[in-house]
């Protein structure tokens, strides 16, 4: 866990400096068991448990089960499961507010004895009216001056079940003219003849949140009670109750932070429950739900959620977080952990006219471009490609298949489309193609360039699987923007599309539920844990490879960014960008110090340093890029001349790639692994997808092949180092292809593309 620093750690650090032993730091996560946890709760969990880990203290999981009306034991179980799954451990500290009911009742009696609480026999509506409003003093209840004995007696009868719901309440006796409305004689207890999921019918009075919560914290020895901003005005009452009772050590304090709000999402449990009850989604764990259970089933990992919580940080003011940030964390995480496989979602049949009828070529293709392990993919005379990858009337620049066009089948051969066969309805039924038999591995023997690379599967060997393509649940950025519009009208009608007969390569057809893959060119997928059967996986799309929403117009009424003004526009009295940057530096010493560093230490030109120190995000990006590359000058030149041109007015913070990846790209260009012009193209993909440059170079097929000498040298070296593997390979152990691929790719550090290496290996191993 990284050491974080925010306003809460500042407070804790100060407490420790003032003598609080770090081992006594105690936080808690206090859910009410009335629904499943969502991504907002995850943020609170990561914060509270994260602080305990950071300081060597403890974090309690406490069920705030003081309101039995909507609570349920099933929620208690799901919540524990979710917290554990997120990677956190409460040790011995699993608590229930209901375990303190007896003690709370005694404490309330103590307040009566001190003259600080009384039984009010008015209705809740009357009480509310007497409270008045801001700037208007409230009026005292006619029951406010009841004697201690009478209060004691009535409160005991409330508990004994002598009264009906709503006939009496217990109130704190504070001040009906208090400027903070919360302090105008708040309710402490109310009568509720409801069976509680843990205490059964033992109680018919239940404590109010504001009374119970601070007591739960104090009883458990919580030091830092962190809650969301809505509770700010309740803090005074929190302190009042603890002070009125007295004798606490440690005395807990409440601190508030901004609750997580995500666009394209609703987070209120009430609204999520409605989606479940209406059948809009299949349950709390529907993969489109923002619940932890939903995200888990969707295929998101706890690591991605924790990274997201870390990324959004802890703030004091409410903001809406871009959903793309969550998706970014999910992609980053899956990019690093998944194997690449081929799955054709919407199949179109391809027959290879000149392929020997029953011959099957067993291709060894690595699971990951950077890995040693590979699997066998059979190639035969009838294949499937993606229907979208063929166009009869291709638009300009089309790199995929079209009549007469040639493409590369990933990891296999080059094919050319010779004929389009139609069905009775006139729709394209299949394609007749020819294959270049000398292009095994994907390179033409005569060196001709083929730009497009498609994924494919062999008809005879593929398995048919059902694939569910999930997307955001709402199409409006803020589904709750208009209180007069029901949020369910803002649902995304395309949040789930099912492809019932997708075709998948055989090595994946037998995967276990819960296994994740990248289906190349399609996205990240998981074999659903509920619906998959042995040998018959059902896949969920976790997320696409790139953010398809990035350019979607905002639908929440916020103004969209204006296009940059043309030069011939009327002169305006607005400042130039250079002036804006200079003024920003004058105001913010961090910008100025970065500028000084760029010129002084890195020896960059004033003008480059000026551009690069425009804002803190850009500075961080540049520093990360230089750290990964090693030398400032080329990185700076690439940022100024390429990156800023590619991204135009987009803020660096919203790019999906980071500085480290950018530095890698510059290194790859310098090492000759990719041409400058191809690298610009790769950069375009990088900023939109956040994927590593080496991976993109490989997938886009833009790796330089001119360095054949380099590849041959590496292959020779690998063979010399592994003579016994060479012997086994020559003896027929085809699986070793992946081993050699991995070793050679690694020796080349991604400077050559996979296809070139494969060809070189094959030519030597014949």
Note the residues at the interface with ligand ATP (CB under 6 A).
30-32, 40-41, 43-44, 227-228, 259-260, 267-269
- Complex with ligand ATP: residue 42 or 507, whichever CB lies closer: 42
Stretch that binds Mg ion, among 29-37, 75-83, 334-342, 747-755 (CB under 5 A): 29-37
Stretch that binds Mg ion, among 30-38, 88-96, 105-113, 424-432 (CB under 5 A): 30-38
Supply the DSSP symbol for 718.
H
Which partner, Mg ion, ligand ATP, none, binds residue 298 by CB below 5 to 8 Å per kind?
none
**Mode of pairing for the β-strands spanning 339-341 and 343-344:** unpaired
Kindly name the residue from 173, 190, 269, 296 that is annotated as catalytic. Answer: 269
Token pair of 636 as six digits:
């700076």
Which partner, ligand ATP, Mg ion, none, binds residue 228 by CB below 5 to 8 Å per kind?
ligand ATP
**Mode of pairing for the β-strands spanning 414-422 and 496-504:** unpaired
Q: Where are the alpha helices (DSSP H) in 338-448?
A: none
What sign for the dihedral angle of Cα 296, 301, 305, 311? negative
Token pair of 249 as six digits:
């050590």
CB of 312 to ligand ATP, least distance (A): 9
**Mode of pairing for the β-strands spanning 538-543 and 463-470:** parallel
Residues 326 and 305: their CA atoms lie apart, in Å, by 8
Chain CA centroid to CA 679, Å: 28
Which partner, Mg ion, ligand ATP, none, binds residue 443 by CB below 5 to 8 Å per kind?
none
- Residue 631 neighbours by CB under 8 Å, 6+ apart: none
Q: How far is CA 357 from CA 274, 323, 380, in A?
A: 57, 50, 8
DSSP 137-176: -----TTTT--HHHHHHHHHHHHHT-S-TTS-EEEE-S-T
Which partner, Mg ion, ligand ATP, none, binds residue 363 by CB below 5 to 8 Å per kind?
none
Residues 418 and 405: their CA atoms lie apart, in Å, by 8
CB of 43 to ligand ATP, least distance (A): 5
Find the residue with minimal CB distance to Mg ion. Answer: 32
CB of 43 to Mg ion, least distance (A): 15
Kindly name the residue from 32, 236, 351, 713 that is annotated as catalytic. Answer: 32
Token pair of 46 as six digits:
């990561």
> Measuring CA to CA, which residue among 65, 169, 82, 76 is closest to residue 117?
169
Which partner, ligand ATP, Mg ion, none, binds residue 227 by CB below 5 to 8 Å per kind?
ligand ATP
Residues 390 and 417: their CA atoms lie apart, in Å, by 9
Place of tokens 């049949």: 349
Is 269 an annotated catalytic residue? Answer: yes
- Complex with Mg ion: residue 234 or 612, whichever CB lies closer: 234
Which partner, ligand ATP, Mg ion, none, binds residue 268 by CB below 5 to 8 Å per kind?
ligand ATP
Stretch that binds Mg ion, among 31-39, 483-491, 597-605, 661-669 (CB under 5 A): 31-39
CB of 297 to ligand ATP, least distance (A): 20
Chain CA centroid to CA 23, Å: 32
> Measuring CA to CA, which residue among 26, 78, 585 is closest to residue 296?
78
- Complex with ligand ATP: residue 220 or 753, whichever CB lies closer: 220
Residues 296 and 293: their CA atoms lie apart, in Å, by 5
- 3-state secondary structure string across 37-66: CEHHHHHHHHHHHHHHHHHCCEEEEEECCC
Q: 68-81 as b/e, with b when 16 or more CB fall inside 10 Å?
A: beebeeebbebbbe
Is 32 an annotated catalytic residue? Answer: yes
CB of 67 to Mg ion, least distance (A): 9
- Complex with ligand ATP: residue 174 or 309, whichever CB lies closer: 309
Stretch that binds Mg ion, among 26-34, 104-112, 256-264, 718-726 (CB under 5 A): 26-34
Which partner, Mg ion, ligand ATP, none, binds residue 30 by CB below 5 to 8 Å per kind?
ligand ATP
Place of tokens 């392929």: 355
CB of 60 to ligand ATP, least distance (A): 12
CB of 41 to ligand ATP, least distance (A): 5
- By three-state DSSP, how is residue 354 classified? coil
Q: Where are the alpha helices (DSSP H) in 313-432?
A: 323-337
DSSP 625-685: HHHHHS-HHHHHHHIIIIIHHHHTTS-GGG-SS-HHHHHHHHHHHHTTSB-HHHHHHHHHH
> Measuring CA to CA, which residue among 27, 74, 33 is closest to residue 54?
27
Find the residue with minimal CB distance to ligand ATP. Answer: 40
Which partner, ligand ATP, Mg ion, none, binds residue 267 by CB below 5 to 8 Å per kind?
ligand ATP
Which partner, ligand ATP, Mg ion, none, binds residue 150 by CB below 5 to 8 Å per kind?
none
- Complex with ligand ATP: residue 148 or 315, whichever CB lies closer: 315
| Strand-by-strand arrangement of the 205-207 sheet | 117-120, 169-172, 187-191, 205-207
Kindly name the residue from 144, 152, 259, 451 that is annotated as catalytic. Answer: 259
Supply the DSSP symbol for 560.
P
CB of 747 to ligand ATP, least distance (A): 48
- Side-chain half-sphere exposure of 348, counting CA atoms within 13 A: 23
CB of 482 to ligand ATP, least distance (A): 20
Number of residues that bind Mg ion (CB under 5 A): 1
Which partner, Mg ion, ligand ATP, none, binds residue 259 by CB below 5 to 8 Å per kind?
ligand ATP
| CB-based contact 304:332 (threshold 8 Å) | yes
- Complex with ligand ATP: residue 277 or 393, whichever CB lies closer: 277
CB of 197 to ligand ATP, least distance (A): 15
CB of 327 to Mg ion, least distance (A): 27
The DSSP bridge partners found for residue 118 are 171
- Helix 209-220 and helix 235-245, axial crossing angle in degrees, nearest 10: 60
- Complex with Mg ion: residue 32 or 531, whichever CB lies closer: 32
CB of 470 to ligand ATP, least distance (A): 22
Which partner, Mg ion, ligand ATP, none, binds residue 269 by CB below 5 to 8 Å per kind?
ligand ATP
Which partner, Mg ion, ligand ATP, none, binds residue 368 by CB below 5 to 8 Å per kind?
none
- Complex with Mg ion: residue 210 or 692, whichever CB lies closer: 210
- Complex with Mg ion: residue 32 or 335, whichever CB lies closer: 32
- Complex with ligand ATP: residue 479 or 632, whichever CB lies closer: 479
| CB-based contact 485:502 (threshold 8 Å) | no
- Complex with ligand ATP: residue 481 or 633, whichever CB lies closer: 481
Place of tokens 């009125």: 244
- Complex with ligand ATP: residue 163 or 255, whichever CB lies closer: 255
Active site residues: 32, 259, 269
- Interacting residues with Mg ion (CB under 5 A): 32
């Amino acid at each position: 866990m990284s050491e974080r620093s925010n306003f809460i750690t500042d407070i804790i650090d100060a407490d420790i400096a003032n003598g609080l032993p770090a081992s006594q730091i105690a936080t808690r996560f206090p859910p009410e068991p009335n629904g499943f946890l969502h991504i907002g709760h995850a943020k609170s969990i990561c914060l509270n448990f994260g602080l305990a880990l950071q300081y060597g203290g403890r974090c309690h999981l406490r069920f705030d089960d003081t309101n039995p009306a909507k609570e349920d034991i099933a929620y208690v179980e799901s919540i524990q499961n979710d917290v554990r799954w997120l990677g956190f451990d409460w040790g011995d500290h699993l608590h229930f507010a209901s375990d303190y009911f007896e003690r709370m009742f005694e404490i309330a009696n103590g307040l009566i004895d001190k003259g600080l609480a009384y039984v009010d026999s008015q209705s809740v509506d009357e009480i509310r009216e007497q409270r008045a409003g801001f700037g208007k003093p409230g009026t005292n209840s006619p029951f406010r001056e009841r004697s201690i004995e009478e209060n004691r007696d009535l409160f005991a009868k409330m508990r004994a079940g002598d009264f009906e719901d709503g006939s009496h309440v217990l109130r704190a006796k504070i001040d009906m003219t208090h400027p903070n409305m919360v302090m105008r004689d708040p309710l402490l207890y109310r009568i509720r003849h409801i069976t509680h999921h843990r205490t059964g019918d033992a109680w018919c009075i239940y404590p109010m949140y504001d009374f119970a919560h601070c007591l739960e914290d104090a009883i458990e020895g919580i030091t830092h009670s962190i809650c969301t901003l809505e509770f700010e005005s309740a803090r005074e009452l929190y302190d009042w109750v603890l002070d009125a009772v007295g004798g606490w050590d440690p005395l807990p304090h409440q601190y508030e932070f901004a609750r997580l709000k995500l666009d394209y999402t609703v987070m209120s449990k009430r609204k999520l429950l409605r989606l479940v009850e209406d059948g809009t989604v299949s349950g709390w764990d529907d993969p489109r739900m923002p619940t932890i259970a939903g995200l888990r089933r969707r295929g998101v990992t706890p690591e991605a959620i924790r990274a997201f919580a870390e990324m959004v940080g802890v703030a004091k003011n409410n903001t809406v977080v871009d959903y793309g940030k969550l998706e970014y964390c999910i992609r980053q995480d899956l990019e690093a952990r998944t194997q690449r496989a081929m799955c054709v979602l919407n199949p179109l049949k391809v027959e290879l006219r000149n392929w020997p009828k029953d011959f099957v070529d067993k291709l060894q293709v690595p699971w990951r471009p950077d890995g040693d392990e590979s699997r066998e993919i059979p190639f035969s005379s009838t294949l499937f490609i993606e229907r979208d990858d063929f166009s009869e009337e291709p638009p300009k620049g089309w790199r995929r298949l079209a009549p007469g066009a040639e493409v590369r089948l990933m990891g296999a051969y080059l094919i050319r489309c010779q004929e389009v066969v139609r069905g009775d309805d006139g729709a394209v039924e299949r394609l007749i193609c020819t294959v270049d038999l000398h292009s095994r591995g994907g390179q033409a023997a005569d060196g001709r360039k083929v730009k497009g690379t498609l994924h494919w599967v062999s008809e005879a060997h593929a398995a048919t699987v059902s694939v569910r393509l999930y997307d955001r649940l709402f199409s409006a950025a803020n589904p709750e923007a208009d209180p007069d519009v029901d949020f369910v009208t803002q649902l995304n009608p395309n949040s789930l599309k099912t492809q019932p007969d997708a075709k998948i390569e055989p090595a994946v057809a037998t995967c276990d539920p819960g296994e994740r893959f990248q289906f190349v060119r399609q996205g990240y997928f998981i074999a659903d844990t509920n619906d998959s059967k042995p040998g018959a996986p059902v896949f969920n799309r976790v997320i696409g490879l790139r953010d398809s929403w990035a350019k979607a117009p905002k639908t929440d009424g916020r103004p969209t960014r204006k296009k940059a003004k043309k030069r011939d526009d009327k002169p305006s009295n607005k400042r130039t960008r250079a002036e804006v940057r200079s003024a920003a530096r004058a105001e913010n010493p961090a910008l100025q110090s970065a500028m000084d560093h760029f010129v002084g230490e890195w020896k960059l030109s004033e003008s480059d340093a000026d551009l690069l120190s425009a804002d803190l995000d850009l500075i961080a990006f540049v520093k990360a890029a230089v750290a990964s590359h090693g030398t400032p000058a080329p990185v700076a030149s690439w940022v100024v001349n390429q990156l800023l041109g590619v991204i135009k007015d987009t803020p660096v913070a919203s790019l999906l790639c980071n500085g480290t990846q950018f530095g890698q790209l510059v290194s790859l260009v310098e090492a000759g692994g990719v041409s400058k012009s191809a690298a610009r193209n790769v950069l375009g993909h990088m900023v939109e997808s956040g994927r590593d440059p080496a991976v993109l170079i490989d997938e886009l097929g833009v790796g330089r092949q001119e360095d054949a000498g380099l590849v041959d040298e590496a292959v020779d070296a690998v063979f010399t180092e592994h003579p016994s593997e060479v012997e086994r390979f020559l003896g027929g152990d085809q699986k070793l292809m992946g081993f050699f691929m991995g070793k050679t790719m690694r020796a080349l550090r991604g400077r050559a593309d996979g296809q070139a290496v494969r060809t070189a290996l094959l030519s030597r191993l014949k």
